[in-house]
Structure 1
Amino acid sequence: MTTEEKAGQVLLPSFKGKEVEAHAAAIERLHLAGSIIMGDNVPLDPQGRLDVSGMAAVNQRLAQAAAAGGRPWPGIIAVDQEGGQVARLGAPLTEWPTPMSYGAAGSVPLAKEAGQGLAAELVPLGFNVDFAPDTDVTVGPKDPTIGARSMSSDPGAAASLGVAFSQGMLAAGVLPAVKHFPGHGSVAVDSHVSLPVQPAAVADLGGRDWKPFGAAIAAGSPMVMTGHIAVPALQPGVPASLSGPTYAALRGLGFNGVAVTDALNMGAVAKQYPGGTAAVMALAAGADLLLMPADVGQAHAAIVQAVASGALPPERLDEAARRVATMMAWHGRTAAANGAPAGSGGALSARVSASAVTVLSGPCSGPLVPGAVRVAGGGPGDRARFEAAAARAGLSVGSGPLVSLIGYGGRGADGDIAVALDAPWPLQDSPAPVKIALYGRTDGAFDALAAVLAGKAPAPGKLPAAVGSFPAGTGCP
């Protein structure tokens, strides 16, 4: 491959809106690895739902562009689809609860089944990479960014559940990427906005944040995403995604796969390293795949120029391009086409929520409400979903105890029963006598909640992280 082709092979850009043809032309011209699909790229039908055939056509066009130069391996067609808050593709695809549900359910087989179920619906749309699962270990309310995207505050649980979810994705034919090394669940700043600093010593990181990554690597995970987090113990002031000592630490865990950066257009990087600087720095530091540079043309030119000037050793570009090509060649040769139709995971998603629902305080058996409830709070559509689920469970709505729904980023609510629909932290500030963590706002999650309220089902979940005075592991016996 020429230097220009190799420079393209390590770049995975996004694009604006519905400019598919212009983006396909850029993929061909710059020999790019492929593309990531973001929310504004998703075609919608007249009802505002995902246009399944339209999405498949977009991805087919981009895959065609990636193959135009005669490469024998498939281009990368990627998406961020974790479940919960991070889901670029909506209905009619299955809606999944937050990943913290797997920690609350505490079942490795269920996490694997869910990973396969989620990924299987991406295959018919033409996706072959999903930047999931998030294997960050959360530290609880002081973690403003990851929250319920984390499966657990327990490193061992985050490790085993993350591996299982990844193996499920691979079984469906989608490449997973565990994220965000060296650990985003224990910093108090959002890297989308500015640069978080991780003050922990390397020994402490190894015993907590790095455990899930070590487990993923031991299980053969093909990709690890590095986060925009500065770790003074490794390299002060430099985001991990651009830091040589960080990639050395990752390789020191035995990783031989593709190290991919988090999006290079995020505030933590873009503010400090404009133009093509970040791309060259990340590559020189040890990254293999550069995700979403702010300007892919600039990034490509900067890499080519850096090789020409000797600022970037050609062997480093060779190594990165070879790793990406090897991964995609392996995927093209081994991936079974285990696709599933849109929406086919609904029953499984509901089972995850039914296994996860957690009662922090209040009765563990019998009806929690006397056949009728009132409802308040939540985000758009939450109350309507709750009311529909209540009706299915035989509960009437309009009188009786008040159920207060707490949505993403919400605060502690009063009422008789407080229900957290995302991370459970707001329950620590709630005076409600009954506190329930639901970890999701899907129809299946609301069905699980209504069944517990009506006394028709137990709440088997256990808190995967401490919430105020409620320790991790709190739940009904």
Structure 2
Amino acid sequence: MADTGSRPLGWGPEQRDRDAAVAAVAAMSPEQKAGQVLLPTFRGNQVEAYAGLIQRLHLAGSIIMADNVPRDPQGNVDVAAMGAVNQRLLQAVAADGRRWPGIIGVDQEGGGVARLGPPLTEWPTPMSYGAAGNAALTRQAGKGLAAELAPLGFDLDFAPDTDVTIGPKDPTIGARSMSADPAAAATQGVAFSQGMLDAGVLPTVKHFPGHGSVTADSHLSLPVQPAGIDELQGRDWKPFQAAVTAALPIIMTGHIAVPALEPGVPASLSAPSYAALRGLGFKGVAVTDALNMGAVDKQYPAGAAAVKAVAAGADLLLMPADVEQAHAAILQALAAGTLSAARLDEAAQRVATMMIWHARTSPPAGTAATAAQAGSGAPLSTQVSASAVTVLSGPCSGPLVPGSVRVAGGGPGDRERFEAAAARAGLTVGSGPLVSLIGPGGKAAGGDIAVALDAPWPLQDSGAPVKLALYGRTDAAFDALAAVLAGKAPAPGKLPAAVGPFPGGTGCP
């Protein structure tokens, strides 16, 4: 008889992983099943209290937020202490009797969304990958980023963001998007995800049905996506379809109302939205965006969001506002028959299937034989920024400045980083052309050379004759900028999104 256990399921795991999960979930109590679909966070350094909660509520694991990260006296990540926190949480999952690892997740996209800073590698904004246009480099970067997470005990990252941005009217995603071109966002998103899997960390493609083309911020209120299904399929859904085709394991649903699917209800809580996602062929774990965000918590308080999300089709509920209320509400709905036992079983089975597969195919978190050291991705980060820097207007060869420049603008630390990079490139600071740095959320700038450090949109109204997009504020990004200014390196990047009169694809030949 042929071995059916190795039959692929179309999203990573094999039939043997699903069989083991189905058997495990069948032996669970309702309390255990309810816990298995919840992935909350905890306050500050209350690790022991939270480890107890994992065991009492049978939780899937935890997402680590910035206030959970132990730091040294200089404010940097205490790498050893971070690893110890994660191991303690994994021990709590094991003590609950599960034969698969807990989920220890983090938001580590690069750019402005990075819970873990130095001594881990600082990565530029994800839009850098679209500007560089090199899928092989993007995959290397995904692997490099994840290779620093795995030794600390992280087994899941809520990255990459594959939303297709619409440009300046997109207030939330911006430079977190890899491109305004759906095909490019799809290619780069899959490459980054595959790189993460290469390093043994589960990627999360987000935020279905697409957060880059809505004009409100779901952290504050409920955005409405007015596009019809055909338009969504042609733009926003292309990266998610590519993720499904590439058999990626997790897709996050966003808090976005799509009237064409279900008016007034966030996609994260909407059965027609999950049906649309499954309609793309997705068979993996559907995780909600954080349920404590304004778009959901204001409308569905006290556990209501958790019940509605599971009933609609979510498999994993991220950061419910009150996890005890969420757990109790799921059990109450189960008892009342307003949440079907089959739907909860399906959700718990998917989560267990994924983690059984992950344990079978990856080194145990935190014990990789060739554990990458924090900061090992720095050369890759440098290569990404050097490949992304883009000239919108101005010369494509030779020095852009004489041996000295002046600098203005930017956010905290930007000018200091620029000055240090200028010195490394042999430039002095104090006289000469004025370089205006535009930080995240910044306005148009004058001067002789305008440099966008985040999304490039402010360059459209900048009066400077020379306009550069850098897509990053790391030391490596400033080194790439200084090298271009000094004429020591080309600017090979191409605009991944239109900026006023400059179409997507603008850049030096």
- TM-score for the superposition, normalised by structure 2: 0.93
Q: Distance in 2 between matches of 1:220 and 1:128?
A: 18
Which residue, out of 313, 323, 327, partners 1:300? 327
Equivalent residue, structure 1, for 2:477: 445
Which residue, out of 172, 180, 187, partners 2:214? 187
Letter in 1 for 2:496: P
Equivalent residue, structure 2, for 1:384: 416
**What is the DSSP-based 3-state SS (H/G/I as helix, E as strand, rest coil) of the residue aligned with 2:105?**
strand
Equivalent residue, structure 1, for 2:190: 163
Q: Distance in 2 between matches of 1:7 and 1:107?
A: 42
Residue 40 in structure 1 maps to residue 72 in structure 2: no
**What is the DSSP-based 3-state SS (H/G/I as helix, E as strand, rest coil) of the residue aligned with 1:175?**
coil
Residue 461 in structure 1 maps to residue 488 in structure 2: no
The Cα shift of 1:302 comes to: 0.3
Equivalent residue, structure 1, for 2:275: 248
Q: Distance in 2 between matches of 1:235 and 1:64?
A: 41
Alignment of 1:340-419 (within 5 A): 340-419=372-451
Deviations 1:408-460 (A, max 9, x none): 10011111100000000011111011000000011110000000000000000
Deviations 1:62-97 (A, max 9, x none): 111111111000000000000000000000000000
Equivalent residue, structure 1, for 2:15: none
The Cα shift of 1:38 comes to: 0.3
The Cα shift of 1:335 comes to: 1.1
Residue 327 in structure 1 maps to residue 359 in structure 2: no
Equivalent residue, structure 1, for 2:8: none
Contact 1:359 1:475 in 2 (8 A): yes
Q: Distance in 1 between matches of 2:174 and 2:328?
A: 38
**What is the DSSP-based 3-state SS (H/G/I as helix, E as strand, rest coil) of the residue aligned with 2:292?**
coil
Contact 1:141 1:425 in 2 (8 A): yes
Deviations 1:121-157 (A, max 9, x none): 0011100000000000001001010000000000000
Letter in 2 for 1:34: G
Equivalent residue, structure 2, for 1:233: 260
Q: Distance in 2 between matches of 1:393 and 1:69?
A: 56
**What is the DSSP-based 3-state SS (H/G/I as helix, E as strand, rest coil) of the residue aligned with 2:408?**
strand
**What is the DSSP-based 3-state SS (H/G/I as helix, E as strand, rest coil) of the residue aligned with 2:49?**
helix
Equivalent residue, structure 1, for 2:468: 436
Letter in 1 for 2:116: L
The Cα shift of 1:31 comes to: 0.1
Q: Taking every aligned residue pair, what percent have the same amino acid on both sides? A: 79
Q: Distance in 1 between matches of 2:270 and 2:297?
A: 15
Displaced runs of 4 or more, over 3 A: 336-339
Q: Distance in 1 between matches of 2:229 and 2:141?
A: 33
Q: Distance in 1 between matches of 2:103 and 2:504?
A: 39
**What is the DSSP-based 3-state SS (H/G/I as helix, E as strand, rest coil) of the residue aligned with 2:431?**
strand
Equivalent residue, structure 2, for 1:27: 54
Letter in 1 for 2:486: A
Contact 1:122 1:339 in 2 (8 A): no
Q: Distance in 2 between matches of 1:94 and 1:281?
A: 39
Equivalent residue, structure 2, for 1:175: 202
Letter in 2 for 1:400: G
What 5-or-longer segments of structure 1 have no aligned partner? none
The Cα shift of 1:339 comes to: 3.5
Letter in 1 for 2:124: P
The Cα shift of 1:344 comes to: 0.4
Which residue, out of 153, 163, 181, partners 1:154? 181
Q: Distance in 2 between matches of 1:345 and 1:333?
A: 26
Residues 232-241 or 338-347, more deviating = 338-347
Q: Distance in 2 between matches of 1:225 and 1:340?
A: 28
Equivalent residue, structure 2, for 1:67: 94
Provide the aligned C-alpha RMSD in A: 0.6
Q: Distance in 2 between matches of 1:268 and 1:437?
A: 32
Q: Distance in 1 between matches of 2:117 and 2:157?
A: 15
Name the CA shift for 1:189/1:219 in 2 (closer, same or farther; >3 Å): same
Q: Distance in 1 between matches of 2:144 and 2:343?
A: 37
Q: Distance in 1 between matches of 2:493 and 2:202?
A: 29
Q: Distance in 2 between matches of 1:59 and 1:411?
A: 40
Equivalent residue, structure 1, for 2:337: 310
Residue 282 in structure 1 maps to residue 312 in structure 2: no
**What is the DSSP-based 3-state SS (H/G/I as helix, E as strand, rest coil) of the residue aligned with 2:48?**
helix
Q: Distance in 2 between matches of 1:121 and 1:243?
A: 36
Q: Distance in 1 between matches of 2:427 and 2:263?
A: 57
Q: Distance in 1 between matches of 2:53 and 2:371?
A: 29
Q: Distance in 1 between matches of 2:220 and 2:182?
A: 26
Q: Distance in 2 between matches of 1:198 and 1:171?
A: 34
Q: Distance in 2 between matches of 1:134 and 1:298?
A: 30
